[in-house]
Amino acid sequence: MSTSVPSQVSDPRARRNVAVLVMAQAILGSQITMIFTAGGLAGQALASNPCWATLPISMIVLGSMTTAPWLSAVMQKYGRRTGFVIGGLGGLVGSLLAVQALRMWNFPLFLVGSYFTGIYMSAQGFYRFAATDTASEAFRPKAISYVMAGGLISAVIGPQLFAQTKEIYGIPFLGTYLVAIAINIVGLGLFIFLDIPKPPLRKASDPASRSYLELLKSPVIAVAIICGMVSYALMNLVMTSTPLAVVGCGYGDAMAGNVVTAHVLAMFVPSFFTGHLIARFGARPIIALGLAILGVAGIVGFMGVELENFFVALVLLGVGWNFGFIGATAMLASAHEPHERGRVQGMNDAIVFGMVTVASLASGGLMNCSGGSAEEGWTAVNLAMVPFLTLAGAALLWLALRPRDFRVT
């Protein structure tokens, strides 16, 4: 639906912007993989009730959810660079507050810091959309995929930084958050090189911007949001509880970091070819494949708590997320006009991360409070995937059965 610029005009600029966004994803993004590993374990140490162990992760996602609408509006008015700098500053403030909270052994302050980290996480979520702003129609899926592939570097850096820094000071995890401060300071300088113009103002001849309700009534937009929401929420549900499950089953903090590393690698390695697959086969088949792989991940996790179960389940979880989420992003990017960009993308991320917030809250409860052992909690987490996969699969099938005018390729 959106108007594309000829590739020979837009793609050189798009490729430069993609390079900057890949670096931002790699450097700034490493704090998320690091903090997601540390957050649940630190929360378990700080919280008076183990059921609240994953609340810091939930606060990060809540921060992302509540930030998405207003940050998207800021970028629509003032440009991507402004929004991304705001995100980096949010991450910096969040890490500073977390350091102070750990020094004071103060769980509420730690939660406030986690919320500010969520402001960065929201900005990072818009990197994938920014990659399409100056790209031609043909280059868009690849641009999204390349930017997501930048997470491959963060997948290696983040968990390993956590392993090396979690005990370098007398206070557990303090070193991890000190490193996150440095990451945000360094990463903020990258956005000087971003060259994305502000979105064009709506012309009098353009159709009026659709309301939120009208946008949600669009079959393509609705299904893209549902599939993106389910892919991300299920990934977060399982990943958030994984360090607790691995440690609870007796494998130790270091092994928990290794499992998370394998998972995050699996999230981003496929990005080198996901965009090409979408360009060749279309978004819907790739989303369907992603949902199927997520289902297999749940089955493997349900089958046992041997170390190989954790590794295989989390690798499949990462690949399934990649196909499902990138496919949903590509589908959404094709379903709105340029002047609707801020409204559509902000609404999408608010809904997606709203469900991710629920998933991360549920993760701690299912893991620590749904049975008498880590094994029973892990089983409950994997069973919880079933209704959401059913919802996304049904939505995708519904879209496929609609008249051709409503479909996307």
**Which CATH number does the domain housing residue 61 bear?**
1.20.1250.20
Which of 117-121, 127-131, 262-266 is modeled with the greatest confidence?
117-121
CA nearest to 132, candidates 353, 341, 408, 407 = 341
What is the spatial distance between Cα 172 and Cα 157, in angstroms, rounded to a whole number?
A: 19
* Average pLDDT for the chain: 86
Q: Are 132 and 140 in contact (CB under 8 A)?
A: yes
CA nearest to 263, candidates 205, 321, 305, 219 = 321
Q: Tally the domains of the chain.
A: 1
pLDDT, tens digit, 9 for 90 and up, residues 11-52 = 788 899 999 999 999 999 999 888 887 887 888 888 878 778
270 falls within a domain: yes
30 falls within a domain: yes
Which 3 state secondary structure label does DSSP give 134? coil
Q: Provide the residue range defining the domain that includes 292.
A: 7-197+212-406
CA nearest to 378, candidates 255, 243, 270 = 243
CA nearest to 186, candidates 145, 155, 157, 160 = 157
DSSP 47-106: -SSGGGTTHHHHHHHHHHHHHHHHHHHHHHHH-HHHHHHHHHHHHHHHHHHHHHHHHHT-
Q: What is the mean pLDDT of residues 290-311?
A: 93
Task: Work out the pLDDT band at 8, boundaries 50, 70, 90.
Answer: very low
Neighbours of 346 (CB within 10 A): 23
Task: Work out the pLDDT band at 98, boundaries 50, 70, 90.
Answer: very high
Q: Which two three-digit tokens encode residue 268? A: 């981003």
203 falls within a domain: no
Q: Which residues, 6+ apart, have CB-to-CB distance to 307 below 8 Å?
A: 251, 255
Q: Which of these ranges, 96-100, 208-212, 283-287, 384-388, has the smallest mean pLDDT?
A: 208-212
Asked if the model's pLDDT at residue 114 lies above 90, the reply is: yes
- Amino acid in the structure at residue 186: V
What is the spatial distance between Cα 150 and Cα 87, in angstroms, rounded to a whole number?
A: 17
pLDDT of residue 406: 46
159 falls within a domain: yes
**Start-to-end CA span in the chain (Å):** 12
User: pTM, whole model, 2 decimals?
Assistant: 0.76
Q: Tell me, what DSSP letter sits at residue 196?
A: -
Q: What is the mean pLDDT of residues 229-255?
A: 87
pLDDT of residue 233: 92
| Percent of the chain predicted with pLDDT > 90 | 44
Q: Tell me, what DSSP letter sits at residue 300?
A: H
205 falls within a domain: no
Q: For the chain, how are helix, strand and coil distributed in percent, rounded to 5?
A: 80, 0, 20
Asked if the model's pLDDT at residue 189 lies above 50, the reply is: yes
Q: What is the mean pLDDT of residues 302-307?
A: 88
pLDDT of residue 240: 81
| Per-residue buried b or exposed e for 17-44, using 16+ beta carbons within 10 Å of the residue's own CB | bbebbbbbbbbbbbbbbbbbbbbbbbbb
Q: Are 316 and 179 in contact (CB under 8 A)?
A: no
Q: Are 312 and 292 in contact (CB under 8 A)?
A: no
102 falls within a domain: yes
Q: What is the mean pLDDT of residues 140-145?
A: 86
What is the spatial distance between Cα 61 and Cα 121, in angstroms, rounded to a whole number?
A: 8
206 falls within a domain: no
Asked if the model's pLDDT at residue 5 lies above 60, the reply is: no
Q: Which two three-digit tokens encode residue 402? A: 């609609």
pLDDT, tens digit, 9 for 90 and up, residues 42-60 = 888 888 787 787 789 889 9
Q: Which residues, 6+ apart, have CB-to-CB distance to 280 below 8 Å?
A: none
Asked if the model's pLDDT at residue 407 lies above 60, the reply is: no
202 falls within a domain: no
